[in-house]
Structure 1
């Protein structure tokens, strides 16, 4: 049965809430710990990585249990309904860390609250990804659904990357977090309501834990795609983690260009994320159409190649006093990033179908857990990697929001958000073309 437009859009709506926390953990956490809690950047990166590694451990369990859940609301909805609350409460708690406490107490608070938020995120994200393999088996419908998903995800990016920091500048991080939590919870709950009549697999899977994941890993084409997506995510997560520092230290508005007033009122970071939002929104229909015309793989390769070219160009622009020029670059960045955001999520459910058709077993939750494992591993590595790069170059922490940095530290930051991610994306393109493509041709024939 074909999905209605309301069901496709409704499924995508959940990501508007989920992505707010994704942006918090990728963009804000290291900067928050270093700039507002006064924690050295290497320790901040390490702590973030430890929590995210813990988050990865919970993925297989939640994927497995969601496959085995049976309720009148389906296998996935109960997890997402409860997870939205846990995620939001944990995020608010994270930003209520006591600034004046000893470092050990601050770190303990952050680890506990951040850990709670990541568990809630996993309760939402893994069942949500599994739904893409359940409610339709039509590859073109999945591309359209993912287009809606990424359009709403871009709203989440804007809220997490621009609105929340802007509110934090005016009211403080705790109040800002409280303001955005209704959107997080509401988007997820409204998505569940919108898709309540969509097709779904009602019967709980009976496969054991080990057998389920053995079946997933036997699908080698899927495993290669998941690894490739993890490589892409490492590049994007490194850029995202470094952006708050770049907005403060590498894009210093001189007050003489078109967006100077906006930068002064909203902060440079909010302006850059607003520009990114415009590009990402504009790109969603474009990437759906390119995927239909050229195929998902080639559309993704084109998008990633454009991303590499953009990062190389950005490395020549920074540091800059022209916030308008940099914002223009970020519009293009939003367009190229749209391919990374959208297309892999439309590709991997097609490979779920292969295993379900061959085995007769529906374990979309297990597939979703492995898929997110690569993404989360990259997100865990990126803060530690950025922290090591900056600490090695002499980066200084503060509790005042800004402190003068030496030239070597600023040069390291510039490299960490441009040429290093560009090199990582080149590796991802190589994996897609030389390893994944031949395997996918055979698997999906």
Structure 2
């Protein structure tokens, strides 16, 4: 018997809360440190990357503990319930930086709360990702679940990427107040997801494997480890765009002409463009479900990423931009293509959980989710580091009071670092999908089972 609509939608609801932190770490932290805290770009990149050392320990540990947890609420829910609160506390703390400190003290403050938020994020997302492999073994039903997930994720992205900057305005203190409004929504979304899926199928019996045995079992699935690497490559391209998006809106949008000028005035350039990106992502979800059913998930992903690189090239050609309306159209297109990146791989990796479970008889979905998310965390942490090094190399200047005059060399580097460089990285991922992964996939992602 298939999942109910309420269970599919309820599972996806948690990603609303999860993606608030995704946007904070990918879009806002780097720009916040370099624009309002006086932290040099290269240092900001190194510091955000350094949190990855924390994840090296916490990701496999929480995956292991999640698989072995025994409680009346199951293996996953206790971690998600507590993690939601820890994540919210960390996010609020990131932007509540006291006035009057040196940039070094500012950076240290941000990193402490960034680590706290990351711990909460890990405690939520690893059990959450494991549930995708437990609730159903129908590959097409998973595609529908991921569409619900990305629909709610888009709301979370909009809250953090558009609403928070719009509420914050152009001040450090404004960001601290803005995140206070969204923090309770994050917690509520995750807790309501737990309530909505409490009757969904789940594997309640903990695995008896030790940590080393569990990780060895996951790593023995060669197709899964390969997909983790490839999705990490694609994530690096997307994360580079995200890391530089707010700075680009400040320095590469030189005018706000066109029919949408009023929207830019009301929300701010960054919030308006990000809202258009989310519109494209929301509109794309049904399309990518249908594409996965007709073409197979792997072929649909390759198709979406190829178009994505073309959109990035078009954006490069428009920068610096004087019309926000033209950029809005391109951002809708970019969001549409980004829907393939967001939805399809998350519908693919649980298919590979099934292979290992069928072969070994062990349910170690938490360990799978830990490695899956760690690959993305590596890419997301690496992107600000790469961007910071590139901008510093071309003389980009940090600030503690908003925008400052930048050289043409620095602006040119920013321009290609958020468009052509991500497109080139995506092409590496596309080539690996088509030439290396596809021959090994063996049609595991192309089942045509009916969706209830």
TM class by shorter chain equals over 0.9
What is the aligned counterpart of 2:190 among 185, 188, 193?
Answer: 188
Q: 1:309 to 1:401 in 2, by over 3 A?
A: same
**What stretches of structure 1 move > 4 A for 4+ residues in a row?**
442-445
Count of aligned pairs:
444
Structure 1 residue 371 corresponds to structure 2 residue 372: yes
Structure 1 position 347 matched with structure 2 position 348:
yes
Contact 1:90–1:114, Cα closer than 8 Å, also in 2: yes
Contact 1:53–1:377, Cα closer than 8 Å, also in 2: no
**Alpha-carbon distance in 1 for matches of 2:64, 2:283:** 37
Contact 1:11 1:149 in 2 (8 A): yes
Distance 1:7 1:106 in 2: 43
Distance 1:437 1:263 in 2: 43
Partner of 1:386: 387
What is the CA–CA distance in structure 1 between the aligned matches of 2:309 and 2:443, rounded to whole Å? 29
Aligned-pair CA distance for 1:196: 0.5
Distance 1:273 1:56 in 2: 31
- 164-173 or 1-10: which moved more? 164-173
Whether 1:110 and 2:110 are equivalent positions in the alignment is yes
**CA–CA distance in structure 1, aligned partners of residues 27 and 284 of structure 2:** 22
Partner of residue 234, structure 2: 232
How far apart, in 2, do the equivalents of 1:315 and 1:135 lie? 42
Pairing 1:185-334 to 2, within 5 Å after superposition: 185-254=187-256, 256-334=257-335
Q: Deviations over 1:407-436 (max 9, x none)?
A: 000000011111100001101011111111
- Displacement, 1:146? 0.4
CA distance in 2, matches of 1:60, 1:268: 40
Kept in 2: contact 1:36–1:99 (CA 8 A): no
Which among 177, 200, 203 is matched to residue 175 of structure 1? 177
Q: CA deviation at 1:9?
A: 0.5
Equivalent residues of 1:34, 1:41 under 8 A apart: yes
Q: Give the match for residue 79 of structure 1.
A: 79
Distance 1:124 1:63 in 2: 11
Structure 1 unaligned residues grouped into runs of 5+: none
Q: Supply the distance in 1 between the matched residues of 2:418 and 2:443 (Cα, whole angstroms).
A: 37
- d(CA) in 1 for partners of 2:3, 2:380: 33
Correspondence for 2:450: none
Conservation of the 8 A alpha-carbon contact between 1:52 and 1:379: no
CA RMSD in angstroms, aligned pairs only? 1.2
The 8 Å contact of residues 55 and 374 in structure 2, kept in 1 or not, is answered as: no
What secondary structure is seen at the aligned counterpart in 2 of 1:380? helix
- Conserved in 1, the CA contact under 8 Å of 2:39 and 2:104? no
Q: Does 1:46 align with 2:12?
A: no
TM-score by length of 2: 0.97
Give the C-alpha shift of residue 443 in structure 1: 6.0
The answer to whether the 8 A contact 2:230-2:432 is kept is yes
For the 8 Å contact 1:395–1:409, the answer to whether it is kept is yes
After superposing the two structures, state which structure 1 stretch, 131-140 or 43-52, moved more: 43-52
The question of whether the paired residues in 1 share the 8 Å contact of 2:60 and 2:367 is answered with yes
Rounded to whole Å, the distance in 2 between the matches of 1:83 and 1:301 is 34
Could you tell me how far apart the structure 2 residues matched to 1:253 and 1:127 are? 45
**Structure 1: how far apart are the matches of 2:443 and 2:158?**
39
